[in-house]
Amino acid sequence: MSRSAHPAGPRHGDVMPEGHFTAPPADLNRLDPKVWSQTVVRDAGSGVVSVGGLDVQALAEEFGTPAYILDEQDFRSRCRAWREAFGTDADVYYAGKAFLSRAIVRWLREEGLNVDVCSGGELTVALTAGMPAERIAFHGNNKSEAELEQAVAAGVGHVVVDSFDELVRLSWIAERHGVRQKVLIRVTVGVEAHTHEFIATAHEDQKFGLSLSGGLAAEGVRRALTLDGLELVGIHSHIGSQIFDMAGFEVAARRVVGLLAEIKGEHGVELPEIDLGGGLGIAYTSEDDPREPAEIAKSLTEIVRRECAAAGLTPPRISVEPGRAIVGPTAFTLYRVGTVKELEGLRTYVSVDGGMSDNIRTALYDAEYSVALVSRASTAEPMLSRVVGKHCESGDIVVKDAFLPADLAPGDLVAVPATGAYCRSMASNYNHALKPPVVAVSAGAARVIVRRETEEDLLRLDIG
Ligand code: PLP
């Protein structure tokens, strides 16, 4: 039975399906390098897609599906691009929350990046993989005493303090350890990043940081400067996620430098560091236009220098914390199609063997993704599709609106690109799904860096 196609979107006379979609791409077999990792190519003869020199059929056979396939060469070259863009006068902290594993930590260490962690678990992964403690920054709005203890005992380079309570708690712990812990104070600069409401973090009405405009940030500085266990070295700001427009960062940088000037005026102290956070956007679809690290570095460095010159300050050392912009584009999720269900006049539902348990971002943030048939090429007409998972939720959507070839069939492999960030790290066991493995590929070799969960893993925790 042939399924109806939508050569130019929904057909005339159809009920208009709701959703966001543009006209189908001219060539469904083309893999846009903006959204696919560096070494992904489709073989001109067989039509099968490969990454790092390995074809997806072989990867699916060896490692099963669903699986996150991570392009190590791409990851390393993005690390280098960030490192080189910021040079030796600045620090790049990879935001571990995007995706952290011990292999990732080793690559970061080798490529000269630092790491930011936001839980005792992430800290343990970073330390056990050999990241020097002084290259680790520890974040979080409610770090437990045990976590602060762990961080101080390990000798982490920076703790980013988020509240008055934490200032006192951390100072006390540091004193007990006989050290002065270097800290930054996280401030909210009142910039609301142009992105989804739930992932914008610098407006005033939210849980992170001490507000600049309300005077809490200045009060935090006053208190930090009086505490014996703390060495206040700088100010931290993070304005949101998936941001393309540098204007928000510019305003944030200007306000942070303004605070440095106030601190100099009030205390006669010039803080030597500022951290402008992460949040740089990546291309999930061909419509997204991310900024390059070199452009970001130039823009941030210039604004900080200019503002410091105007305020009579020595420019502080800058740090940034990209997570998504490094790991996001380096991986795709490989799924096998299980069922294909056409809803006449609406769209075709393509069910894959994973779903919201391996990618919650679509359900949580209304995120947009692309998808492609990767186990073969096809000359069939484009078919308006929704890629859904196998969970017991109608909101279990992986890709809301996309065009796939109309001859798509059960057994085909499809891949969703740009799933390196906030997918494995936010994965769940909903419906007792087993979290997929992360398979790193490089120069014709593949290895599992995080293995697939097994039912034994689930049963081990369920002690009855
Ligand atoms: N730094 C901080 C403080 C964050 O909260 C986050 C993300 O929430 C990041 C860095 C990383 O953001 P992204 O992965 O969007 O670059």
Strands 438-442 and 382-388: unpaired
Active site residue 392: yes
Asked whether residue 261 is domain-assigned, the answer is: yes
Q: Is the pLDDT of residue 200 over 50?
A: no
Q: 322 C-alpha vs ligand 1 centroid, how far in Å?
A: 6
Q: Residue 102: in which H helix or E strand, if any?
A: helix 102-110
Token code pair at residue 23: 């006209």
Are 64 and 184 members of one domain?
no
Are 311 and 342 members of one domain?
no
Asked whether residue 34 is domain-assigned, the answer is: no
Q: 207 C-alpha vs ligand 1 centroid, how far in Å?
A: 15
Residue 96's Cα: distance from chain center in Å? 8
Note the pLDDT tens digit of each residue in 285-317: 999 999 999 999 999 999 999 999 999 999 999
Are 365 and 442 members of one domain?
yes
Token code pair at residue 222: 């006053």
Are 165 and 48 members of one domain?
no
Asked whether residue 107 is domain-assigned, the answer is: no
Under the phi-then-psi rule, with left for phi > 0, alpha for psi from -120 to 50, and beta for the rest, what region is 425?
alpha
Residue where a domain stops, chosen among 322, 338, 372: 322
pTM of the predicted model as reported, rounded to 2 decimal places: 0.94
Residue 328's Cα: distance from chain center in Å? 6
Task: State the pLDDT confidence band at 7, using cuts at 50, 70 and 90.
Answer: very low
Tell me the mean pLDDT in the region 401-424.
98
Asked whether residue 305 is domain-assigned, the answer is: yes
Are 292 and 339 members of one domain?
no
Residue where a domain stops, chosen among 273, 299, 322: 322
Which of 97, 184, 208 has most ligand 1 atoms within 8 Å of its beta carbon, as the pocket-test mutant?
97
Are 209 and 286 members of one domain?
yes
Are 164 and 282 members of one domain?
yes
Token code pair at residue 265: 């005026």
Strands 331-343 and 347-352: antiparallel
Tell me the mean pLDDT in the region 78-89.
96
Are 162 and 196 members of one domain?
yes
Asked whether residue 178 is domain-assigned, the answer is: yes
Strands 54-55 and 230-236: unpaired
79, 118, 392, 423: which is the annotated catalytic residue? 392
Residue 405's Cα: distance from chain center in Å? 30
* Residue keyed to tokens 């934490």: 166
Are 368 and 303 members of one domain?
no
Percent of the chain whose pLDDT exceeds 70: 93
Asked whether residue 374 is domain-assigned, the answer is: yes
Are 354 and 317 members of one domain?
no
Token code pair at residue 120: 């005792």
| Segment among 70-84, 237-251, 408-422 with least mean pLDDT | 237-251
Question: Is 201 or 282 the better-scoring residue by pLDDT?
Answer: 282
Note the pLDDT tens digit of each residue in 423-462: 999 999 999 999 999 999 999 999 999 999 999 999 999 9
Q: Does the CB atom of residue 281 touch ligand 1 within 6 A? A: no
Q: Work out whether the CA dihedral 148, 152, 155, 160 comes out positive or negative.
A: positive
Q: 94 C-alpha vs ligand 1 centroid, how far in Å?
A: 9
Quote the CA–CA distance of 464 and 456 in Å, as a whole number: 14
Q: Is the pLDDT of residue 15 over 80?
A: no
Q: Residue 358 sits in a domain of what CATH number?
A: 2.40.37.10
User: In this predicted structure, what is the pLDDT of residue 122?
Assistant: 98
Burial class for 132, CB neighbours closer than 10 Å (0-12, 13-18, 19+):
middle
User: In this predicted structure, what is the pLDDT of residue 335?
Assistant: 99
Residue 210 CB contacts under 8 Å (≥ 6 apart), including other chains = 162, 163, 164, 185, 186, 187, 188, 216, 217, 219, 220
Q: Which domain holds residue 363?
A: 41-71+329-461
Domain count within the chain: 2
Are 286 and 156 members of one domain?
yes
Are 315 and 360 members of one domain?
no
Q: Residue 155 sits in a domain of what CATH number?
A: 3.20.20.10
| Segment among 16-20, 84-88, 106-110 with least mean pLDDT | 16-20
Which of ligand 1's atoms lies nearest the C-alpha of 243?
15
User: In this predicted structure, what is the pLDDT of residue 1?
Assistant: 42
Asked whether residue 395 is domain-assigned, the answer is: yes
* Residue keyed to tokens 């920076």: 158
CB 405 within 8 A of CB 382: yes
Order across the sheet with 49-51: list the strands.
41-42, 49-51, 54-55
Asked whether residue 430 is domain-assigned, the answer is: yes
Tell me the mean pLDDT in the region 339-353.
96
Note the pLDDT tens digit of each residue in 208-237: 999 998 899 999 999 999 999 999 999 999
Q: What are phi and psi of 140, to 5 degrees?
A: 135, 145
Residue where a domain stops, chosen among 276, 303, 322: 322
